[in-house]
Amino acid sequence: MEDDLANLNLVDEEEEAFQEEAAVVDQNMNLSLVGCCLTDSVVHFPSLRNTMADLWHPIQGICISDLGERRVFFQFFHEVDIQRVLGGTSWFFNNHLLLLQRLQPSENPLSIQLNSPEF
């Protein structure tokens, strides 16, 4: 057993939980969500991105982008994935409620009101 552990190496660099951190893509805007955490404190975006991608584990992948102003853009690539996120219970990140709103094709992600959860 000691021989097995001797060959075990930890590497600081790991692959991301998603394929790419791309800019917001215009196609399939109806498969997109805008979200924010209901908190006054700072939210560490890389942790949020990795945690939500791991929790949701979408079939066709996900692109998560920081929009600034405490807004996060979630782009899904399959209807099943977005329905699973919206149809489930409320989502939390670090004990803060994650408010999510589905983005319509003509809407500006920064102008959407994210004041209260939909129960």
pLDDT for residue 82: 94
Residues of the chain with pLDDT under 70: 1-28, 116-119
pLDDT for residue 119: 56
Residue 84 token pair: 């699973």
pLDDT for residue 107: 86
Q: Is there a domain that residue 94 lies in?
A: yes
pLDDT for residue 22: 44
CATH number of domain containing 59? 3.30.70.330
Say which residue the tokens 């600034």 belong to.
Answer: 68
Which residue stretches of the chain are H helix? 2-6, 45-56, 79-87
**Residue partners of 92: CB distance under 8 A and separation at least 6:** 98
Q: What is the pLDDT of residues 20-42, one digit of tens each?
A: 444 444 456 789 999 999 999 99
Q: Is there a domain that residue 29 lies in?
A: yes
Q: Is there a domain that residue 9 lies in?
A: yes
Domain that includes residue 17, residue range: 2-102
pLDDT for residue 24: 43
